[in-house]
Each structure stands twice: as structure tokens, then as C-alpha cells.
Amino acid sequence: MNIFRFAGDMFHLISILVLLLKIYATKSCSGISLKTQELYALVFVTRYLDLFTDFISVYNTVMKLVFIGSTAAIVWCMQWHPVVKRSYDRELDTFRHYFLVGACFVLALFLHENFTFQEIFWAFSIYLEAVAILPQLVLLQRSGNVDNLTGQYVFFLGAYRAFYILNWIYRYFMEQRFSRWISCISGLVQTALYADFFYYYFLSWKNNAKLHLPA
């Protein structure tokens, strides 16, 4: 594992911990898109099907279980926790995310590296992760002002993908057999979706002001 992959994993883990901290400390999920969390839960479940067939390392297995378990816990809190679910912005979180699921699955059927059950669902998870943040970004844009922890969650999530791009560049030059073009293209698309958010995030940080996304 190279430093870029490890840094990306840590940023990803931090983003989830920040979100769990927000929910635990404030007993609120205001500003968080349940649609995005459901998409991420589907991403992790379909990507990590190899948990049942392949063992890579203890680190790899633990991280996969953490991502699945923590995301499932967030979805549970937002849907069924008696206090947290009351703060869910249902009227703002109206993105029709099932269209993303359908489109990504069809894309995976046609664009994949090997026509096997596991590889198709791996490709599906990569495509879906590239656009899973869209409901969250739309919700933040509709609400306007973004609280500090929610802003940090999205920032760290975007940083995770940025470091993974560096990881792919590194592996392209260092590993002769590295050819995960699906990951590279999808990662670039996903990172591009964060561009507008990053701009306003750094603007608010520079001016020491509250993060605000224009509608």
C-alpha cells in the first residue's frame, strides 16, 4: 500500500467519524442527505462482496467492515432513531436517487472489465460512488447555510477521492499490471462534482465565515 492510498482511506474514515460525531453530539441529522447515505451503503455492500471469497489483509478486511457497519448505523439513525429522525430534512432531500442506481447498474452491464457477477457489481459500485454525493450537494445547496461538521464531512469525503486519484497515478507508473480505468475515470468525475463545494469551502475558511452555498 502506498502513502496516497493510506491517506485516502484515513480521510474517508475521518469523514464518517465526523458525521457520526455530528449525529451523536447534537442528536441531529439536519443537513445530511439520507439518500446519499443509502447510496453509500449500497456502494459498500456491492463492492465488498469479496469479503466472502478473498482475504487480502487484516487491514483491508477491517476497513471494509467499518465502512459497511458505520454507514448502516448512520442510515439506521436517520430512519429509526426516535430523536435523530425528527431532524431529518425530508422536504429538502428529494433527489430521485433510484434513477442513479438504475443508470449505474445498466452502465455496469455494458462497461466492465470481466463479465462475472462480482466484477459487474464492483463496476456498479464504482459508478454509483462517483455520483452518490449528488443528493447531499443538492440538499446543501437548497438549505444554503452549512453547519461546520456537515461541511467538514463533505470536505473530507472529497479529499478522500482526491488522494485516490494520486494513488491511481502512482500505481499506473509503479505497477505494470495496473489497469483499473473504470476507477480512474469515475474518480475524476466524482472529484469534479466537489469542485464547486471546495471553492466555497476554502472561501469561507479564508474569510473565517460560515459556509454558504448559493442556490
CA atoms within 13 A on the CB side of 19: 28
Q: What is the pLDDT of residue 122?
A: 92
Is residue 84, in this structure, part of any structural domain at all?
yes
Which residue in the block uniquely carries the three cell numbers 460525531? 21
- Cα distances from 208 to residues 22, 35, 42, 133, 136, in angstroms, run 21, 30, 36, 25, 23
b/e map 95-114, b = 16+ CB within 10 Å: bebeebbeebbebbeeebee
Is the pLDDT score of 178 beyond 60?
no
Is residue 130, in this structure, part of any structural domain at all?
yes
Tell me which of 72-86, 127-141, 172-186 is least confident. Answer: 172-186
Q: Residue 61 belongs to what domain range?
A: 3-206
Is residue 211, in this structure, part of any structural domain at all?
no
Is residue 214, in this structure, part of any structural domain at all?
no
Is residue 60, in this structure, part of any structural domain at all?
yes
- Looking at residues 98-116, what average pLDDT do you find? 91
Is residue 135, in this structure, part of any structural domain at all?
yes
Q: What is the pLDDT of residue 209?
A: 66
Integer Cα distance of 100 and 96 in angstroms: 8
Domain total for the chain?
1
- Looking at residues 193-213, what average pLDDT do you find? 74
Q: What is the pLDDT of residue 117?
A: 87
pTM tops 0.85? yes
- Looking at residues 131-141, what average pLDDT do you find? 91
Q: What is the pLDDT of residue 193?
A: 83
Integer Cα distance of 84 and 194 in angstroms: 27
Is residue 215, in this structure, part of any structural domain at all?
no
Chain segment 90-104, per-residue pLDDT in tens: 999 999 999 999 999
Nearest to 164 by CA among 149, 186, 179: 186
Is residue 100, in this structure, part of any structural domain at all?
yes
Q: Rounded mean pLDDT of the chain?
A: 87
Is the pLDDT score of 156 beyond 80?
yes
